[in-house]
Amino acid sequence: MTLPQINLNPPFNVTRASHVCLEVKDLKASRLFYEQVIGLVVTAETEDTLYFRGVEEACHHSLVLHRVTGETRCTRVGMRVLTEEDLDKAYAYFTKQGCEAKWVDVPFQGRTLDIADSSGIPLQLCARMPVEPRQITAFHTHRGGMGLRLDHYQILVPDLRKALNGYMDLGFWLTEYVGTDDENVRAVFLQRKGNPHDIVFFNGDGPKLHHFAFMTTETQNLLRACDVAGELGFGRQVERGPGRHGPGHALFVYFRDPDGHRIELFNTHYQVLDLENEPVRWDPHDPAVAFPWGMPARKRWFEEATLFRDVPVRETSIRPTPMTLERYLQD
């Protein structure tokens, strides 16, 4: 089996990962976490919903928190398309593929299309949002980790090859992957915006949202976010890091928000941009894949993830055995 090739004439033009919609129990606690620890900007709030954007983001929102009672799920992961015409093309494409696609009215967004993709992931596409002032030079307002912009999602899927083929069909570029060879691929990193990834798939029971990630400017911001977390009572929710990734090379720290949703704050990604860059393969047995230095992640980092609202989870037939902190300390 070979890896799929880049599709330079995709059926419509996805430009980037755009916005993630999460359910939460307590808007006050979530606001404290995302505003003070991650350092996002509140664009709008209603009685039951909070809209955040990153410090450098001009578009209305990249994180939407909706209050619910009971279990909290992820309702949608959003992608931007370039034009209104791309939305119509997306509707035609997914309908032809037999995927559920429907037009929906969403506050603070232009025409919006909800889709259940071939892996069951609830996607949301739009081409326009209201524009707000960027806060990048409002230095006196910067807080915590100074989350600049939403960068990517990582999603667990039981059929990795299907997800890879589906997103390559949509014009995503494969930048890096984890596998013993091109047949046995365990993780794929796919991008549309030019840096290492907009969406990452790992093999696992799913679909489930493993994490979403905001970029920040400086390494110091990662430590500052941890310090603010500790001060405000979120210290135990610093789940992994700071540390360095193998694939993508990011310097990162992972947090669990008050509802257990996982967010990564990171910097130091690179630009891809040129077609002659072949995808980089990482050997899953190479310790540098999981942790070039420091300690590996706890078992729960590999296994726990946010469910998607009303999307059944399918079991994977392949059980990876990553080096966990628990195993590492036993050896």
Distance of CA 8 to the CA centre of its chain: 24
Size of the site for Fe ion (CB under 5 A): 3
What minimum distance in Å lies between the beta carbon of 211 and Fe ion?
6
Q: Could you tell me which stretch among 3-11, 118-126, 260-268, 295-303 binds Fe ion (CB under 5 A)?
A: 260-268
Q: Could you tell me which stretch among 85-93, 122-130, 178-186, 211-219 binds Fe ion (CB under 5 A)?
A: 211-219
Determine the Cα–Cα distance for residues 84 and 251; give it in Å rounded to an integer: 36
Residues 54-83: x where in contact with Fe ion by CB under 5 A, - otherwise, as a string: ------------------------------
Residues 6-25: x where in contact with Fe ion by CB under 5 A, - otherwise, as a string: --------------------
Among positions 217-246, residues that touch Fe ion (CB under 5 A) are: none
What minimum distance in Å lies between the beta carbon of 270 and Fe ion?
14
Nearer to Fe ion, 159 or 264 (CB): 264
Residue 213 interacting with Fe ion (CB under 5 A): yes
Determine the Cα–Cα distance for residues 247 and 187; give it in Å rounded to an integer: 10
Nearer to Fe ion, 112 or 154 (CB): 154
What is the token pair recorded at 196?
A: 């290492």
Q: Give the strand pairing for 173-179 and 262-267.
A: unpaired
Q: Could you tell me which stretch among 16-24, 117-125, 210-218, 310-318 binds Fe ion (CB under 5 A)?
A: 210-218
Determine the Cα–Cα distance for residues 192 and 174; give it in Å rounded to an integer: 9
* Total Cβ atoms within 10 A of residue 157: 24
Among candidate residues 142, 317, 108, the one with its CA nearest the CA of residue 220: 142
Burial (CB < 10 A; 0-12, 13-18, 19+), residue 5, is exposed
Residue 264 interacting with Fe ion (CB under 5 A): yes
DSSP secondary structure letter of residue 248: T
Among positions 146-185, residues that touch Fe ion (CB under 5 A) are: 154
Nearer to Fe ion, 185 or 251 (CB): 251
Determine the Cα–Cα distance for residues 108 and 58; give it in Å rounded to an integer: 13
Amino acid occupying residue 116: A
What minimum distance in Å lies between the beta carbon of 67 and Fe ion?
26
Contact residues for Fe ion, defined by CB under 5 A: 154, 213, 264
